[in-house]
C-alpha cells in the first residue's frame, strides 16, 4: 500500500507520543478500539482551569494510518476548548491525512478517542460540556 | 557492513529466476520455438524433446515417472485441476471431501465452490498448536462417501511440514485419493509421492527459482490409476487432461529449476537452516514477548514466522519498508480477518495481527540476516514505546480482562 506523505510524516515523527499520569490534575484519558481488531488508541488531554486543552498525548497500537490519525488528533487538540475538541470530525482527519477508504475506520477511531478523552475529563471534573461525550472505555 | 537495499525476505511468496534457469530457457524463445505437438518437423520434435526432458526433471524431484506429470500454468491451476477434476470424475461415488484447515486459499476456494454449487460437503481437519495435522484426525473425518483428502505438504505462512507418510497410509487404507498442495515444499525438502502415498500433487515453478506462470500436477498412474475430468478443453494436450499449447520456455525453466533443486537440496537446505536459525535467535535475543508460530521441529528450513506482542503487523512493515516481508495482519490483506492459518494454531487474534513472516532463499546473505535482525529489534522497540498495550502490560494490566470497546 502506498502511504500519503502526511501519514508517513506522522508515522516517522509522531507528535506528542507518550502518556500523562492518569490521576494528574486536569487529565482526561480515552482508550478506544480492541486488540483483536488490530487497533487500540489511547488519547489523553490536559485541560486547564479555563477549559482550554493545554497539552495532549497519544499511544497507538495499530497500522500506520491509525498512528497518524491519533498523532494528528493530539496536534489539533492543543489550544482548543472542550467544545471545540468535541467538534473535530473524522472526515477532517481523512482529508488532512489523505486516507484511502479502507483506512477511514482509523479516523473514526481517532474521533472516538477524542470524545472519550474529553468526556473522561468532563466526567471527572464534574463539568458539563454543551455537547456532552462518552466516557472512556 | 554493506548490504544492498531493499532486502528480499519474501521467498515464500515468489523467488527470482536462477540465472542458470534463465540461460536454459533463452534458446526456447527464439531458436527452438516449435510447437511441441507438431509431429511433422524437426522444430516440433526439438520442442517436444525439451518438454520431455523437463517432465523427467520434475518427475525425478518428486519421485514420480515422467508420464505422471501434467504441466499447467501454475500452482493455482494445478489445484483447480486436481480437486475439480476429481469431483467431476468421482462425483457419482460420493460428494464428501476432507481438507486440512490450514490448506491454501486456492484449495479452500475451489472446495467452497463445490459445496456451494455442486452439493459437496467438506470436513475441515483441525491442526495442533504447531500446525500439524494428525493422521488420526484425518481418519476420523473420513466417511463412506469421501472421495478426496487434501493436506498441504508445507504451509506457506508458518512453514509447518506435515507427516505425509502417515496421512498417506490412512488414505490408502481407506481407498480415498490423497491430494497435496506441495508448492511450498517441492525443491526445499525431499518429496516422494510413492513413499508418501500421494495420488495428486501440485507444484509451481516460481517458488523454486523457476519462472512464474508454469506449474505441474502429478497424477498417479498406478495403484490406483487416477482419472481426472479436464478443466480446459481443446487440443487434447497433456494426455487430454490439460489442453493448450505448452509454454515451452517456461516448462524448460521449471525442469532446470527442479534439476538444480534436486542437486543442491542437501547443501542448500542446510545453509538455509543455519541462516534462519541465526535470524530467529538474533530476534529472540533482542526482544522479549515474541513467539515463533508453527512447529520449530517440522518446519521448512527457510521459514520463520514470529508474533511480536503489542505491535501491529502493518505498522511493522511500514517501519521495515526496505525489507520485503509478509504479515498475517488483516491490514495487509484484502480481507478483514487476520491470518486464518495462525488463528488455527489457537493463537489469539491480537497475536495474529502482530505476526511477520520472514522467508529467506538461495540469494540471502549472512550480512542481510544481520542487518534485518538489527532493524527488526529497533523497529519493534520503537513501536512498543508507542503502544498502549505494551504500556498496560508493563504496568501489570491483564489485557484479556480489559473491557475493550468493540468497533
Ligand atoms: C501454498 C500455495 N498454494 C498455491 C499457490 C499458487 O501457486 P501459483 O502462484 O503458481 O498459482 C501458492 C503461491 O502463490 C502457495 O503458496
Residue B45 and residue B121 in one domain? yes
Q: Which member of B313, B386, B389 has the closest CB to residue A17?
A: B386
Residue from A12, A37, A113, A136 to probe the interface with B (highest B Cβ count within 10 Å): A37
User: What's the domain range around B222?
Assistant: 19-260
Cell 488490530, residue located = A38
Do the Cβ atoms of B350 and A105 come within 8 Å? no
Residues B107 and B167 in one domain: yes
B315 vs B353: CA distance, rounded Å: 10
| B307 Cα–ligand 1 center, Å | 23
Q: Hey, are the CB atoms on B399 and A35 less than 8 Å from each other?
A: yes
* Distance between CA atoms of residues B103 and B121, nearest Å: 16
* Whether residue B225 is found in the same domain as residue B302: no
Instruction: Indicate if B353 and B296 belong to the same structural domain.
Output: yes
**Which CATH number belongs to the domain containing residue B58 in this structure?**
3.40.640.10
pLDDT > 90: percent of chain B: 92
**Cβ distance of A112 and B405 shorter than 8 Å:** yes
pLDDT at B327: 86
Q: Residue B332: its pLDDT value, please?
A: 52
Residue A118: left (phi > 0), alpha (psi -120 to 50), or beta?
alpha
Residues B254 and B274 in one domain: no
Confidence (pLDDT) at A92: 97
B255: Cβ–Cβ under 8 A, 6 or more apart, which residues?
B24, B53, B54, B55, B56, B57, B58
Quote the pLDDT of residue B95.
98
Task: For ligand 1, pick from B75, B187, B203 the residue to mutate: most ligand atoms within 8 Å of CB.
Answer: B75
B232 and B363 within one domain: no
**Binary contact (B391, A34; C-beta < 8 A):** no
* Index of the ligand 1 atom closest to the CA of residue B12: 16
Average pLDDT of the residues in B26-32: 97
- Chain A closest-CA separation from residue B376 CA (Å): 16
How far, in Å, is the centroid of ligand 1 from the Cα of B292? Answer: 23
Same domain, B89 and B146: yes
Write down the catalytic residue from A8, A34, A37, A87. Answer: A37
Residues B282, B219, single domain; the answer is: no
Same domain, residue pair B112 and B220 = yes
| Ligand 1 pocket test target in B73, B76, B339 with most atoms within 8 Å of CB | B76
Report the gap between the CA of B122 and the closest CA in chain A (Å).
28
pLDDT of residue B36: 95
Q: Are residues B57 and B99 in the same domain?
A: yes
Q: Is residue B251 part of a domain?
A: yes
Instruction: Point out the domain boundary residue: B229, B260, B291.
Output: B260
| A63: annotated active-site residue | no
With a pLDDT cut of 70, the percent of chain B lying above it is 97
pLDDT tens digits for A62-95? 999 999 999 999 999 999 999 999 999 999 999 9
Report ipTM (2 d.p.). Answer: 0.90
Q: Chain B: residue nearest A71 by CA?
A: B386
Q: DSSP readout, chain A?
A: -PPPHHHHHHHHS-SSBS---TTSTTEEEEEEEEGGGTEEEEEEEEE-TTSBEEEEEEEEES-HHHHHHHHHHHHHHTT-BHHHHHT--HHHHHHHHT--GGGHHHHHHHHHHHHHHHHHHHHHHTPPPTT------
Which candidate in B311, B315, B320, B401 is best for mutational testing of the A interface (most A CBs within 10 A)?
Answer: B315
Q: Count of domains in chain B?
A: 2
When pLDDT is averaged across residues B66-90 and rounded to a whole number, the result is: 98
Q: Look at residue B330 in the predicted model and tell me its pLDDT.
A: 61
Residue B250 lies in a domain: yes
Please tell me the number of Cα atoms within 13 Å of A5 on its side-chain side.
0
Q: What parts of chain A have a pLDDT lower than 70?
A: 1, 127-137
Query: For the residues B347-375, what does the mean pLDDT come to?
Result: 95
Residues with CB under 6 A from ligand 1: B 74-76, 104, 106, 152, 156, 181, 183-184, 204, 206, 215
Q: How confident is the model at residue A1, as a pLDDT?
A: 61
What is the whole-number distance in angstroms between the Cα of residue A60 and the centre of ligand 1?
35
Look-up: residue for cell 502526511? Answer: A6
Structural domain includes residue B48:
yes
Contact of B401 with A31, CB cutoff 8 Å: no
Q: B243, B260, B277: which is the final residue of a domain?
A: B260
Q: Which atom of ligand 1 is nearest to the CA of B77?
A: 11
Report the pLDDT value the prediction gives residue A133, as an integer from 0 to 100. Answer: 42
**What CATH number is given to the structural domain containing B285?**
3.90.1150.10
pLDDT for B233: 94
Label residue B334 by pLDDT band (50, 70, 90).
low
Which residue of chain A comes nearest to B353, CA vs CA?
A38
In a domain, B402, yes or no: no
Flag whether B295 is in a domain.
Answer: yes
On whether residue B1 sits in a domain, the answer given is: no
pLDDT at A126: 80
The residue out of B235, B260, B285 marking a domain boundary is B260
Do B216 and B57 touch, CB atoms closer than 8 A? no
**Residue B56 is assigned to a structural domain of this protein:** yes
A37 assigned to active site = yes
The pLDDT score that the predictor gives to residue B335 is: 57
Strands of A53-61's sheet, edge to edge? A27-34, A39-47, A53-61
Q: Which of B310, B312, B403 shows the shortest C-beta gap to A63?
A: B312
**Ligand 1 centre distance from Cα of residue B299 (Å):** 18
- Quick check: B337 pLDDT over 80? no
What rounded mean pLDDT belongs to chain B?
95
Per-residue pLDDT at B271 exceeds 80: yes
Residues B85 and B202 in one domain: yes
pLDDT by residue (tens digit) across B208-261?
999 999 999 999 999 999 999 999 999 999 999 999 999 999 999 999 999 999
In the set B66, B324, B331, B389, the catalytic residue is: B331
Which cell is B144 given?
463412506
Q: Give the Å distance between the CA of B349 and the centre of ligand 1.
A: 24
* Residue B2 included in any domain: no
Provide mean pLDDT across the span B294-313.
Answer: 97
In tens, the pLDDT along B197-207 reads 999 999 999 99
Q: Do B57 and B174 belong together in one domain?
A: yes
pLDDT the model gives residue A135:
41
Grade residue B406 by pLDDT with cuts at 50, 70 and 90: low
Amino acid at each position: 500500500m502506498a502511504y500519503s506523505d502526511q501519514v508517513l510524516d506522522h508515522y516517522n515523527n509522531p507528535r506528542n507520543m507518550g502518556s500523562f499520569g492518569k490521576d494528574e490534575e486536569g487529565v482526561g484519558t480515552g482508550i478506544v478500539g480492541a486488540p483483536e481488531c488490530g487497533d487500540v488508541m489511547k488519547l489523553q488531554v490536559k485541560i486547564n482551569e479555563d477549559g482550554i486543552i493545554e497539552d495532549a498525548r497519544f499511544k497507538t497500537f495499530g497500522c500506520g494510518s491509525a498512528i497518524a490519525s491519533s498523532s494528528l488528533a493530539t496536534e489539533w487538540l492543543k489550544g482548543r476548548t472542550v467544545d471545540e475538541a468535541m467538534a473535530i470530525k473524522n472526515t477532517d482527519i481523512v482529508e488532512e491525512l489523505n486516507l484511502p477508504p479502507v483506512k477511514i475506520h482509523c479516523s473514526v477511531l481517532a474521533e472516538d478517542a477524542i470524545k472519550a478523552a474529553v468526556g473522561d475529563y468532563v466526567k471527572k471534573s464534574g463539568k458539563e460540556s454543551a455537547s456532552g461525550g462518552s466516557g472512556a472505555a | 557492513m554493506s548490504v544492498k537495499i531493499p532486502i528480499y525476505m519474501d521467498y515464500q511468496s515468489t523467488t527470482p529466476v536462477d540465472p542458470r534457469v534463465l540461460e536454459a530457457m533463452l534458446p526456447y524463445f527464439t531458436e527452438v520455438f516449435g510447437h511441441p505437438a507438431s509431429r511433422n518437423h524437426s522444430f516440433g520434435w526439438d520442442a517436444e524433446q525439451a518438454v520431455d526432458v523437463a517432465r523427467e526433471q520434475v518427475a525425478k524431484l518428486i519421485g514420480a515417472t515422467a508420464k505422471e506429470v501434467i504441466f499447467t500454468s501454475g500452482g493455482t491451476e494445478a489445484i483447480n485441476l486436481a480437486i475439480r477434476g476429481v469431483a467431476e470424475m468421482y462425483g457419482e461415488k460420493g460428494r464428501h471431501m476432507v481438507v486440512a484447515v490450514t490448506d491454501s486459499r486456492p484449495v479452500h476456494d475451489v472446495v467452497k465452490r463445490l459445496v456451494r454449487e455442486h452439493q459437496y460437503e467438506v470436513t475441515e481437519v483441525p491442526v495442533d498448536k504447531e500446525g500439524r495435522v494428525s493422521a488420526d484426525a484425518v481418519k476420523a473425518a473420513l466417511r463412506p462417501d469421501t472421495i478426496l483428502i487434501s493436506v498441504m505438504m508445507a504451509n506457506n505462512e508458518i512453514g509447518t511440514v506435515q507427516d505425509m507418510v502417515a496421512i498417506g497410509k490412512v488414505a490408502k487404507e481407506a481407498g480415498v485419493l490423497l491430494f497435496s498442495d506441495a508448492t511450498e515444499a517441492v525443491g526445499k525438502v525431499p518429496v516422494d509421492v510413492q513413499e508418501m502415498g500421494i495420488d495428486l500433487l501440485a507444484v509451481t515453478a516460481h517458488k523454486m527459482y523457476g519462472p512464474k506462470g508454469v506449474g505441474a500436477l502429478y497424477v498417479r498412474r498406478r495403484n490406483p490409476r487416477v482419472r481426472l475430468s479436464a478443466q480446459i478443453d481443446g487440443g487434447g494436450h497433456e494426455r487430454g487432461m490439460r489442453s493448450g499449447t505448452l509454454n515451452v520456455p517456461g516448462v524448460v525453466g521449471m525442469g532446470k529449476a527442479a534439476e538444480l533443486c534436486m542437486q543442491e537440496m542437501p547443501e542448500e537446505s542446510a545453509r538455509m537452516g543455519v541462516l534462519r536459525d541465526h535470524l530467529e535467535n538474533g530476534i529472540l535475543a533482542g526482544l522479549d514477548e515474541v513467539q515463533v508460530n508453527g512447529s520449530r521441529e517440522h518446519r521448512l528450513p527457510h521459514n520463520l514466522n514470529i508474533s511480536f506482542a503489542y505491535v501491529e503487523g502493518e505498522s511493522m512493515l511500514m517501519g521495515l519498508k526496505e525489507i520485503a516481508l509478509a504479515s498475517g495482519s488483516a491490514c495487509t490483506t484484502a480481507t478483514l480477518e487476520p491470518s486464518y492459518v495462525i488463528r488455527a494454531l489457537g493463537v489469539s487474534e491480537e497475536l495474529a495481527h502482530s505476526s511477520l513472516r520472514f522467508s529467506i532463499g538461495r540469494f540471502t546473505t549472512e550480512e542481510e540476516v544481520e542487518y534485518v535482525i538489527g532493524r527488526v529489534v529497533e523497529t519493534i522497540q520503537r513501536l512498543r514505546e508507542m503502544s498502549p498495550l505494551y504500556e498496560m502490560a508493563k504496568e501489570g494490566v491483564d489485557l484479556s480482562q480489559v473491557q475493550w470497546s468493540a468497533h
